[in-house]
């Protein structure tokens, strides 16, 4: 293994795994910290964790354990993969985990860049934009778990970290790798601007010898070439059989996808009241889903004001844990009864689903959308997945992903 990635959620893990696989590196996504060595053919290993919203101490401890395992597999460069919208809270978890990894790796500095231009994320003058809108005006200010109300990544990280926060501006990045290397401060966490894939390729050249990086999947664009590999498309074998869509994301993009898919597919909404007051069970939902004539949609993707009302009534953690537990049990029941293709929307929902299936390693297939690969789980029979970050994919993503899993993505 050459590159090791610690991802703070499951969709982010598959996102960066796709980037590395398309860069020509044999890549696998591991679910949690493995207790056995990685296959020797793996050149890039991505450890998927659920640490974005867990307590800070837990996030630090689990991330350290993942780092130790990746180093034991031979990884010489570690990436802390966070969301391209830099989701966190003022108390963490990005800053504390970065501080801990820097200490573990004896890394005097960390290059941080969540830019992902293909999906509209860019960093300019230290500020994160979603398309042409500042992060805090993009809809992310209403995120139910990690509302982002400040677009200045220097301020965001400074509130979380014990280290100095530096910055390399876009005008320097445009001058190329040598200028970037020269401009990097000797210590601290350094926000590096990037507004295009070309910028990220130059950043990749500049950080060839850096031991610790942080960012979205875009940070990996320019890294595989440093290890002597060439870009290519991962292999895929078609997986047929019944499918289903499970959506827990409340992002603007996912809600549009839910609306589009509802117009053509059986659908059923889950509310906090259904689960916490009325005892809705995974068995009830699975029985309904398996009786449908085509791939059904089961979703809890509500408008932000509805989510806030439920959180106020029951408590934020109570709502999140109840919905995630239901999706986890539901996925297990569906797969046990013949479902072979699953499209899952939302990082926390994806983590719940994959954990519910006791998956340990996912094979990375070709892209279904920017940042979303087809994934293959080998169990008694192969299962195909798409684990979609909330804001990724076009409005037809659910239908197109299900169809492409049956052929060549």
Residue of 50, 62, 93, 56 lying closest to 327 (CA atoms): 50
Residue of 356, 349, 355 lying closest to 332 (CA atoms): 356
pLDDT at 408: 61
Residue-range domains of the chain with CATH: 3-227 (3.40.50.10840), 243-405 (3.40.980.20)
Residue of 13, 28, 88, 26 lying closest to 372 (CA atoms): 13
Contact 213, 189 (CB under 8 A): no
What distance in Å separates the CA atoms of residue 387 and residue 372, rounded to the nearest whole number?
7
Higher pLDDT, 302 or 269: 269
Alpha-helical (H) ranges within 128-249 are 153-158, 170-173, 177-183, 197-206
With bands split at pLDDT 50, 70 and 90, how would you rate the model's confidence at 361?
very high
The stretch 319-332 carries a mean pLDDT of 92
The stretch 23-45 carries a mean pLDDT of 95
The stretch 337-353 carries a mean pLDDT of 93
Taking all residues of the chain, what is their mean pLDDT, rounded to a whole number?
93
The stretch 205-229 carries a mean pLDDT of 96
What distance in Å separates the CA atoms of residue 369 and residue 358, rounded to the nearest whole number?
26
Q: Which residues pair with 378 in a beta bridge?
A: 382
The stretch 21-48 carries a mean pLDDT of 95
What distance in Å separates the CA atoms of residue 224 and residue 20, rounded to the nearest whole number?
7
pLDDT at 380: 85
The stretch 21-26 carries a mean pLDDT of 94
SS3 113: strand
What distance in Å separates the CA atoms of residue 137 and residue 317, rounded to the nearest whole number?
25
The stretch 202-206 carries a mean pLDDT of 98
pLDDT at 316: 83
pLDDT at 262: 96
Is 190's pLDDT higher than 70? yes
What distance in Å separates the CA atoms of residue 187 and residue 190, rounded to the nearest whole number?
8
Give tens-digit pLDDT for 87-111: 888 888 999 999 999 999 999 999 9
The stretch 152-166 carries a mean pLDDT of 96
High-pLDDT (> 70) share of the chain, %: 100
With bands split at pLDDT 50, 70 and 90, how would you rate the model's confidence at 409?
low
Contact 22, 235 (CB under 8 A): no
CA end-to-end span of the chain = 27
Highest mean pLDDT (candidates 303-312, 319-328, 332-341): 332-341
Give tens-digit pLDDT for 132-143: 999 999 888 888
Higher pLDDT, 351 or 128: 128
Is 8's pLDDT higher than 80? yes
Higher pLDDT, 251 or 188: 188
Is 144's pLDDT higher than 80? no
With bands split at pLDDT 50, 70 and 90, how would you rate the model's confidence at 155?
very high
Residue of 201, 164, 158 lying closest to 180 (CA atoms): 201
Block residue for tokens 């850096």 = 210
Is 168's pLDDT higher than 80? yes
Residue 327 makes CB contacts below 8 A (sequence gap 6+) with: 246, 248, 349, 352, 353, 356
Higher pLDDT, 210 or 301: 210
pLDDT at 119: 87
């Amino acid at each position: 293994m050459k590159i090791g990635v610690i991802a703070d959620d499951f969709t982010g893990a598959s996102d960066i795994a796709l980037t590395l696989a398309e860069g020509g590196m044999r890549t696998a996504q591991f679910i949690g910290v493995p207790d056995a060595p990685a296959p020797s053919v793996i050149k890039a290993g991505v450890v998927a964790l659920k640490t974005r919203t867990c307590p800070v101490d837990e996030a630090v401890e689990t991330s350290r354990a993942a780092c130790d395992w990746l180093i034991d597999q031979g990884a010489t460069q570690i990436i802390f993969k966070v969301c391209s919208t830099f989701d966190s809270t003022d108390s963490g978890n990005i800053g504390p985990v970065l501080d801990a990894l820097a200490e573990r790796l004896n890394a005097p500095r960390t290059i941080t860049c969540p830019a992902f231009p293909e999906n509209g994320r860019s960093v300019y003058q230290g500020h994160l934009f979603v398309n042409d809108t500042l992060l805090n005006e993009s809809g992310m200010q209403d995120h139910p778990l990690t509302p982002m109300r400040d677009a200045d990544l220097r301020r965001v990280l400074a509130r979380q970290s014990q280290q100095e926060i530096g910055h390399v501006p876009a005008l320097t990045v445009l001058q190329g790798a040598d200028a970037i290397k020269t401009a990097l401060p000797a210590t601290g966490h350094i926000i590096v601007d990037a507004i295009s894939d070309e910028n990220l390729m130059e950043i990749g050249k500049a950080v060839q010898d850096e031991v610790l990086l942080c960012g979205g999947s875009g940070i990996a664009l320019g890294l595989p070439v440093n290890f002597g590999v060439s870009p290519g498309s991962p292999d895929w074998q078609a997986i047929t059989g019944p499918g289903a869509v499970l959506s827990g994301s409340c992002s603007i993009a996912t809600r549009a996808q839910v609306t589009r898919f509802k117009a053509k597919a059986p659908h059923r909404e889950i509310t906090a009241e259904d689960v916490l007051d009325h005892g809705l069970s995974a068995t009830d939902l699975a029985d309904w889903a398996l009786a449908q004539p085509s791939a059904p949609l089961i979703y809890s993707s509500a408008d932000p004001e509805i989510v806030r009302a439920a959180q106020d009534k029951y408590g934020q953690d109570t709502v999140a844990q109840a919905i995630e537990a239901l999706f986890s049990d539901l996925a297990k029941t569906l797969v046990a009864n013949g479902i072979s293709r699953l499209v899952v929307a939302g990082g926390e929902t994806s983590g719940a689903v994959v954990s519910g299936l006791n998956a340990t390693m996912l094979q990375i297939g070709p892209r279904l959308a920017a940042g979303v690969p087809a994934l293959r789980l080998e169990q008694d029979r192969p299962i195909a997945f798409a684990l979609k970050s909330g804001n990724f994919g076009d409005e037809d993503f659910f239908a197109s992903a299900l169809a492409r899993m049956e052929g060549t993505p």
